[in-house]
Chain A
């Protein structure tokens, strides 16, 4: 517990110090990383001895604030620490002190979401996260960035008001804000005001978490902002909403709700990614699509399913940040890939794109294979299987399309343009699957390497490639519709999604 709190403290101090003494901003940020990573290492060692811990800050009984340390916490905290290291290496002292301050505050807020186990604490940390994220989106003060930030701000503030109303309803029924005690006092309660409250809370978190129908601000915000910010937003900021949903799933059995939301999110995200033709847009839609897997994992309701979802949360953060950094380091993020012959990428960016794409397609030794295979084991409904297959196919198609343009068709830049930090990140992501396999325990996961498993996971990208060869021209003529992502329509779809949640919760 103290290890994780030390991480939060060191991030806050790194932020304040890099604002005050902006000459040493880079070194203060590195010190912040050092504090957080050593605190996390200590917590991991303690966790291996004692298992999950729930402890209360302050001795006020009912008023105390709970924090919880379990697998989800530690996986998410290690994601934050890893992304911190590699984005910091990528920045290499560029940008001024204000940027580093905001950067460290974003890390603070996201890091403290990891162990929040209290409804109101979740609200405060997530709202803190989005305020800092919005400042970072509009950091370069370009008009389209400001517009994307304003859109995020309005939708997320509306969503958090809904969350607060839901919180009030749940508090009136349950009498606690601490999730552990609340779960006990809500047991067996299925009143209407509880259902309404939980639906409102999920709708609020879904807006932060990148779920289709709710997070229509996401594609603009993630593709208009600059490289490091995109990587951090897609990699970890949206995950804080999903952590909130994981915590809420302790309170109530969601039944089919999260499975339906996950299926819609996964398929629509992949479809839009396939249609768009700018690398950053493709990656932003792909984030929506990958959130679908995480929701399916939480929706299975088993603890192994939630572990698979948390693993996916970590792996998605790693490979998505790598893809954003490789595209951004080459400066091709906003370019049209239909004219890829004129683009040129350095070798490290191409390697990063390749490793990130192999990961996102869940090719066996790479990291996403483990989370996806563990998730597939937990799924026991046939339609979810089919949805996962369709999502895998869509993922393979848009990834292959992006790779064909940016790795094969484009030219290779001269050697001096190579970015060592992207190279280091590539190696780390390539090895992360192996590390996770060792951490999971090699003996009880050896069945993941059974021949039929491997055949399925390798054949999905092959089929995707064949479909792309046949219909590739058709897809490149399409472009994703822009009307669902306008501010007004995004808000309408938020209310529509909320009604959908309530219908599913009440009827199914």
Chain B
């Protein structure tokens, strides 16, 4: 099971990373980033999954229950990923309002020009 989990995770992370590096569009970069983030969540779910596990709440007589630690962990990381995504969308919005483009190469060029202009 865990080999399967590792393989799936590596494939999805690589797909996301390729998108992050090769795509010039900022929104596509954010999409790729959230693919990578989702892959980590999938990884945790697959790693701790055992058939026949019960929820770790209820009467103490349940013998085989799911490990509660990764669940707490995944919940927290989902929230953090949400925050990161919201913040990066905000930043993208500011950049688009300023330069009217999503192309990162152009944005980098404009930013450099503007910085040199302001500080000289």
State the A residues within 8 Å of B (CB).
62-63, 120, 123-124, 127, 131, 134-135, 138, 141-144, 146-147, 149-150, 153-154, 157-158, 160-161, 164-165, 167-168, 171-172, 177, 193, 224, 278, 334-336, 482, 486-488, 491-492, 495
Contacts and interface: CB of A to CB of B under 8 A. Distances in A.
Given A134-B87, A149-B91, A488-B21, A144 B111 contact: yes
Contacts of B92: 150
Chain A interface mostly helix, strand, loop or mixed? helix
A278 B33 contact: no
Contacts of A147: 95, 107-108, 111
Contacts of B6: 193
B21 A120 contact: no
B66 interface: no
B17 A491 contact: yes
Nearest to B110: A143
A334 B13 contact: no
A154 B20 contact: yes
Contacts of B107: 147
Considering residues A63, A135, A224, A488, which has the most beta carbons from chain B within 10 angstroms of its beta carbon?
A488
Contacts of A177: 69, 73
Given A154-B88, A161-B13, A143 B99 contact: yes
A279 to B, nearest CB: 11
Contacts, number: 112
A143 B33 contact: no
Nearest to A489: B21
B61 interface: no
A54 B13 CA distance: 36
B63 interface: no
Interface of B: 2, 6, 9, 13, 17, 20-22, 26, 29-30, 33, 36-37, 39-40, 43-44, 47, 68-70, 73, 76-77, 80-81, 83-84, 87-88, 91-92, 94-95, 98-99, 104, 107-108, 110-112, 114-115, 118-120
A492 B21 contact: yes
Contacts of A482: 112
Given A146-B95, A165-B13, A158 B119 contact: no
A161 B35 CA distance: 10
B36 A158 contact: yes
Contact of B20 (A123, A158, A165): A158
Given A150-B92, A336-B120, A161 B69 contact: no
Nearest to B10: A165
A451 B77 CA distance: 54
A131 B83 contact: yes
Contact of B73 (A120, A135, A278): A120
Contact of B94 (A134, A141, A336, A491): A141
Given A143-B95, A177-B69, A335-B119, A495 B17 contact: yes
Contact of B36 (A141, A161, A171): A161
A144 B70 contact: no
B87 A153 contact: yes
A334 B94 CA distance: 23
A432 B70 CA distance: 44
